[in-house]
Structure formats: structure tokens, C-alpha cells
Structure 1
Amino acid sequence: MKTFALTALIAALPMLAAPAFAADEVNVSNGISAGGAPLAVHGVDLVTLVRDGNPVEGFANYSATIDGASYYFTSEENLKEFQSEPARYLPQHGGFCSYGVAVGKKFDGDPDKYVLADGKLFLFLNTATRDKFLEDVTGTTATADGNWAKIKHVAVGDL
């Protein structure tokens, strides 16, 4: 019996050390994309959002997958722009509500409720959390960044 228990424990060790799923590190609360990866930022084209301030839904035929999450775009040009410099367009804190991250939670980040500050995209659960963030952008960003380092790999349900 002891041999069986030890064998089972050894077999389970790789699973315990496995990396977190994309759903833990990137807000993919919007189902699965046409390509099979979880869909991020509600399918909104991040290039159009950052460049034009316009949250427009992209199309599955123009998609890219980064860190296990799929992103849609409205055109081949926007897809190529994103692929050339994804860090410029990806939302902070995995696309979760940045104010929520500042208080140690992972709430849905709505691309209709966003802020562009210091060349970075921040998403928010709603207008109230966006307004709280805007009261102290620098301080809230610093707090959220510190918390993100602690909760990035923690499942939403464990916070």
C-alpha cells in the first residue's frame, strides 16, 4: 500500500508544478475562439482600441494567440501590427480590471471601460472602478503592478 501511495505522489508532482492556465493569467472570460484558444478582451481589436480609442470587435479570421489567449482584429493590417509589437497593445494586468487588481482581485476587464495612460492600456469592470483608478493613476497603477506580481498565477476563484 505504501508503494502505491508513493508512486501516486511521484506521478502527481509534475502536475503540481504545471504552469497556470491562460484563464488565470489573462482575462479570457469570453469563451473559446474559433481557433480553440480562450478569447481575450471580449474579441475587441486592440490595435483599433489603442490607436483610435474605438473598441470594435474583431473577426476570427484575423486572430493571434499570445500566452494561450486569442485576440481578434478587424483587418490583416491590424493583425500584423499587433504581431510586430504585442506589448504595445496588450492590456495591463492580463486584461483584468486594473482597479480590481489594485485591491487584490481579478474582475472582468471591459474594453468599453478603458484608460490609456503613459502609453499603456488599462481595462476596468465598470465606470465606477475606472473613476476610482482615475483619482490616482500613478498610485493605483503602482499598487496594481505590485499586486499583479503576487496574484498573476493565482486562479480567480482562489482570490
Structure 2
Amino acid sequence: MANITRRRVFIAAGVAGVAAIAAVAGQTWLGGFEELATAPVYAPDGVAIRGTDPVAYFTEGRAVPGTPEHALEWNGATWHFASAGNRAAFADDPEAYAPQYGGFCAWAVAEKGKLYSTQPDNWAIVDDKLYLNYNDDIEARWQKDIPGFIEAGDDRWPEILAAKS
């Protein structure tokens, strides 16, 4: 049942993405789900990491759904948390918990210089920083040279931000 619901969400997101593209001429296509980057944080429907609690990656070692009850606005997006404590930890030091490259696919930023969508279950913490990737296949590619991709991503990220300004 969860897969059916997930597919419906992706289909709805795809339809919304096509409508947004038609409405916003001149925007740049993203890879992956063809979603538009309108902010420095990947936030479909305005919610970062598809509603996953960023602090939980560090404290629980897994992707944990957050709730609107424990929401916080930061950097142009709404962030959801599983608890008030996680929300407070993020509020105290958001850069420590927010994913690198605005939550866009770490591999795509590094390898392609493009902004691809991500899935909350495709993640890694490297040197106390959270990185997200597009899907299992892309995550496997990224894992073949994590230090090299991080170096390339760190070099390309400022260029990507400047192009979005």
C-alpha cells in the first residue's frame, strides 16, 4: 500500500512540475524528477527533505519522518522534525544538520553541475555533514569516490548558486 501511495505522490509531483514549467518560462530544468529549483534548498511543495527530520540522520542513524507539528522555517523552506528536541537542536545550529548542496543530489552537483532531486533514504554522513542522493543507483556511483565527489561538489556549489541568482 505504501508503494502505491508513494507512486501517486510522484505522479502528482510530476504533473505539478509540468504545470510549473509551463507557467514559468525561462526556468532551467532539473535532472531527476524534472523539478524546478526556486530556492537554495531542495524543497518540493516548500518542505525540505520531503518532510524527513534532518537531525535524526545524526542522532538515530536513519531517515525518520518529521511532522508539521514540529516544523521550522529556515533558508526559504519548511523543515519537519520528529520531536521538539530535534527542532530545537536544528534551530540552534542549522548548518550542522542541513544537508549539503541545499539537499540536492550530491553526485549530480559534483559530476554534472546540476540540481537533481533526492530521496530521503539515499543519504550518508561524511565528516559530520549530511549528503543526499537521487536514488540507489546514483548513491552507488557516489560511493565509489566520495572524497572526489565531495571535492568536486564543494567546488561547483558556489557556481551553481551564482547561476541561480
User: TM-score with structure 1 length normalisation?
Assistant: 0.75
* 1:79 counterpart SS class: helix
Q: Distance in 2 between matches of 1:130 and 1:140?
A: 11
Instruction: Go from structure 1 to structure 2 and tell me whether the alpha carbon gap of 1:141 and 1:87 turns closer, same or farther (over 3 Å shift).
Output: same
Partner of 2:43: 28
- Tell me the number of residue pairs that the alignment of Structure 1 and Structure 2 aligns: 128
Q: Which amino acid aligns with 2:156?
A: N
Give structure 1 stretches of 5+ with no counterpart.
1-20, 32-37
Q: Could you say which residue in structure 2 is the equivalent of 1:97?
A: 105
Residue 54 of structure 2, aligned match among 46, 49, 67: 46
Matches within 5 A, 1:1-159: 23-29=38-44, 31=45, 38-102=46-110, 103-155=112-164
Give me the identity figure in percent.
30
Contact residue 73 and residue 79 of structure 1 kept, 8 A: yes
What's the CA shift string for 1:11-41, capped at 9, x where partnerless?
xxxxxxxxxx973311012x1xxxxxx1110
Is the 1:99–1:140 Cα contact (8 Å) retained in structure 2?
yes
Task: State the superposition RMSD in angstroms.
Answer: 1.6
Q: Structure 1: which 4+ aligned runs deviate by more than 4 Å?
A: none
Counterpart of 1:67 in structure 2: which amino acid? Answer: N
Q: TM-score if structure 2 supplies the norm length?
A: 0.73
Aligned residue identity for 2:157: W
Structure 2 unmatched runs, 5+: 1-35
Query: 1:57 and 1:154, CA in 2 relative to 1: closer, same or farther beyond 3 A?
Result: farther
Larger radius of gyration: 1
Aligned equivalents of 2:116, 2:92: Cα separation in 1: 29
What letter corresponds to residue 50 of structure 1 in structure 2?
F
SS in 1 for 2:39: helix
Q: Residues 100 and 86 of structure 1: is their aligned pair in 2 closer, same or farther, counting only changes over 3 Å?
A: same
Displacement after TM superposition at 1:87 (Å): 1.1
Amino acid aligned to 2:66: G
CA 1:97/1:22 → structure 2, altered by over 3 Å: closer, same or farther? Answer: closer
SS at 2:115 equivalent: coil
Contact kept in structure 2, 1:96 and 1:106, CA below 8 Å: yes
